[in-house]
Structure 1
Amino acid sequence: MKITNLSPQKKRKDRWNLFLDGEFYCGMDEGAVARLGLKIGQEVDEDFLAKMENEETSAKAWNALLFFLKSRERSEKEVINKLKSKEFSDNVIAQTLEKAKDLNLIDDQRFAEMWIRERAKFNPKGKRALQMELRQKGIADEILKQVLAENIDTETEESLAHQAFEKKSRVWTDMADRKQREKMTRYLAGRGFSWNTIEKLIKTK
């Protein structure tokens, strides 16, 4: 078999159309074309076609990872789950992850630190809730312990609890009312704040 035409697609310049023996064979990622050194007139056999397919699959997985990382940092577990949902093989996923780590695109410690900062800014939660959320994201216990110790001390958690309370302050207008205090206590406990933190906050209101 011979490559008889190889040209960029009209709508997607990062994709190339590949023709073998005068017939369209497949579309390929521009990077895969370059890595394989494809050119018109090149003879290819079944083994080379298999290599082409592997390169194309790897390129698709890599592009899927880059797109997934566009909106925010991702944990390793999130990336694995995303690539699995797109039905990439375990081998392709492992290779893609290794490349991403080498380029410092994925770092679970950095992700955990980002998660805590974003929660503090937009959706304040206590240490217990943050720990549970990060575990669900696949963050290892040793990283969790370090990141939480460095970012959430008693004073910080009290400040976060105050922020969470302020978001509900229009609802809880009378802290002298027992029912409102109970509702506030349940709300803050549900957001992972310790009983000591909650009790201290209630006494100031």
Structure 2
Amino acid sequence: MIITSFEKSSKNKDMISVFIDNQYAFSLPEEEYLRLGLYEKSEITEEELGYIKREVLIKSAKSKAIKYVSLKLMSEKELYSKLLSKGFDEEISRIVVDDLKALGYINDKIYAQKFVFERSKLKPKSKKMLRMELSNRGISDDIIDEVLDNFEYDEITVIERLIKKKFGKYDLTDPKIEKKVFSFLTHRGFSYENIRHGLLNICKDE
């Protein structure tokens, strides 16, 4: 096998893409590329290629991945996408994600529980919207169902709290204000029926 060319990665300027026999082979950090002296080589053996993938690439990707998850709780999909964005191959990224999952560094169920809890406190949304956001982050339907089913979340109560917080000083019987209330809450995924119910409850209390 012959190293025919190399170039800066289009995804990350600190990564070098290596081509063997005119075919893309792998990407690795520039410092590792220089340390291994690949720029001086013309030939590379199967053993050397295996070492690079097994020892150098996985070790480098895992080091970066641990740094990412130590700074922020991430889902499997988010970590995988992060590694890809840094120039690591799909194969290496998947191996590292699976390794960190096995070691407990990432756990989609814990991620989903924390996500739902924080959303409910900081920026409440409907369960429908929470489901969509978790799905977009790569959380499986089974985990989403389990987390949302076990989370005490009365949408009517949440709606009433949001209305009082954002529109408490306004006349809720004013059609213009009512329209704004519906617009604000439907944007967060709440149903027309539940919003109407929440509005009626507040107006009755007043």
1:77-108 deviation line (CA, Å, top 9, x unaligned): 11111111112112211220121111111111
Q: TM-score, normalised by structure 2?
A: 0.70
Map 1:70-109; keep pairs closer than 5 Å: 70-109=70-109
Aligned residue for 2:190? 193
Separation of aligned partners in 1, 2:181 and 2:158? 14
Separation of aligned partners in 2, 1:68 and 1:162? 38
**Structure 1 residue 174 and structure 2 residue 195: aligned?**
no
Deviation at 1:165, TM superposition (A): 2.4
Aligned residue for 1:164? 162
Aligned residue for 1:126? 126
Q: TM-score, normalised by structure 1?
A: 0.70
Separation of aligned partners in 2, 1:191 and 1:160? 11
Aligned residue for 2:56? 56
Partner of 1:70: helix, strand, or coil? helix
Aligned residue for 2:143? 143
What percentage of residue pairs aligned between the two structures are identical? 28
CA contact (8 A) 1:124 1:163 kept: no
CA contact (8 A) 2:167 2:181 kept: no
**Mean Cα deviation higher: 67-76 or 136-145:** 67-76
Q: How many residues align?
A: 164
1:83 partner amino acid = L
Deviation at 1:127, TM superposition (A): 0.7
Structure 2 residue ranges without an equivalent (≥5): 1-30, 37-43
Partner of 2:150: helix, strand, or coil? helix
CA contact (8 A) 1:125 1:164 kept: no
2:175 partner amino acid = R
Aligned residue for 1:113? 113
Deviation at 1:53, TM superposition (A): 3.1
CA contact (8 A) 1:127 1:152 kept: no
1:38-73 deviation line (CA, Å, top 9, x unaligned): xxxxxxx96665455332221221122122213332
1:89-130 deviation line (CA, Å, top 9, x unaligned): 122112201211111111111111111001011111111111
2:167 partner amino acid = S
**Mean Cα deviation higher: 65-74 or 87-96:** 65-74
1:159-201 deviation line (CA, Å, top 9, x unaligned): 322333244136x511121110111012111101123321121
Separation of aligned partners in 2, 1:158 and 1:105? 36
Deviation at 1:136, TM superposition (A): 0.7
**Mean Cα deviation higher: 159-168 or 114-123:** 159-168
Partner of 2:35: helix, strand, or coil? strand
Partner of 1:69: helix, strand, or coil? helix
CA contact (8 A) 2:157 2:198 kept: no
